[in-house]
Amino acid sequence: MHTPTSGPAVPGTHPALRLAWLDNLRIALTVLVVLHHAAQPYGPSDWWYVQGGGSRSPALATLSAVDGAFFMSLFFFVSAVLVPASYERRGARHFVTGRLVRLGVPVVAGALTIVPGLMYAYYVHYRDRPPITFGRYFTEVYLGLGNEPAGWTGPSWPDLQFGHLWFVQNLLAYSLLYAVCRAVAVRVGRRRAGTRTPAPAPAAPPGHRALLALTAALASAAFLVRLRYPLDSWIPFLGFLQVEPARFPQYAAFFVLGVLAHRHGWLGRFDARTGWLWLMGGLLAVAVLAAVGTDAPAFGAGGANGPSALWAAYESFVCVALCVGLTTLFREAATASGPFLRELAQDGYAVYIVHVPLVVAVQYALAGRGLPAAAAWAAASLTALPAAFLLAAALRRFPLLRRVL
């Protein structure tokens, strides 16, 4: 997720524009992540660390559904854009070690500190189990060294998971896979060094036809995957990689698209008129969902049925439309820069890592106070969002942490 604010510019863009809009887009996505998690007990019916938030807001449920359709895909895209430049600048070995430090260390540290703390709070408040110390919980329940209790309700056994750090973990896996592919390509290129073949011309940016084809491909893949894995169903791929199969086609596709956008200079060459049209289409689709509501049969459905196919198609369209549209919007209209925005951009990665405990702490403090769902969400957002940025900025002032964050 972390996109440095220095180094080579993305091909096809001026360096100042990269700072002015790509980083601003990343700031907006970081803010949206915090707002999304702040809404979890008050709108959607997903599992969350805090339960029983009182009345639920249909508007917040719609916000959660729309966010889930596109924002992590756009995060993968933005993150992937600068991966090739980092690889070329640092070389394979330093790229891999850098990714292991920058992404791997927070994943491991968070899985041993942040996430067990959150899961322990959930265990204490919402599981009908005898009292237990954190030390016993960590070894017996979180790590699973004890016996699985009878009637265990999950969401998994043991409680060991990566929580919101799944994104960082998946991004690390994608980055390492990219490094492997580049190494193979270099080796193949050396074998063909004797044959002179002209370098291929940059591919044209995707137009309406290509974007419609992408939408159809994502919808088909999502429908097929959801025959077995519905939304919000997570699996330990290869025993350790926390993956949501229902949205894997989107995430993988947009990471690849980010790499291709760098290679072919699409960010600077993409037709703004195409982007504006897709943005309008995406906003219209969001308005339709807001009118229909997330209790419609299509929402979250899985299996071999019409509603599941309809939701896969809808979600895929919203994903493509808003990813394309928001990228265009920020490139064309959000080019402001300055010390404050640069600081926010540099703190964004740390905000992603530390914000959930802050959000959950505020939600626990608000529990039982009888606030309407919208008011509780606003209070959690307005409290946790600035706190997360301030904490991130403070942590990054420590030299050792700055290297990681």
What is the residue whose two structure tokens read 């919000």? 232
How would you classify residue 195: left for phi > 0, otherwise alpha for psi between -120 and 50, otherwise beta?
A: beta
Which pLDDT value is given to residue 318?
97
Using a 10 angstrom Cβ sphere, with 0-12 exposed, 13-18 middle and 19 or more buried, the burial of residue 62 is: buried
Which pLDDT value is given to residue 295?
62
- What is the pTM assigned to this prediction? 0.91
Query: What does the DSSP 8-state code read for residue 369?
Result: S
Q: Are 80 and 172 in contact (CB under 8 A)?
A: no
As a whole number of angstroms, the distance between CA 35 and CA 30 comes to 9
Which residues are bridge partners to 237 per DSSP?
241
Positive or negative, the Cα torsion across 63, 68, 70, 71? Answer: positive
Residues of the chain with pLDDT under 50: 1-18, 297
Which pLDDT value is given to residue 294?
67
Which pLDDT value is given to residue 9?
38
The CA-based angle 197-198-204, given to 5 degrees, is 130
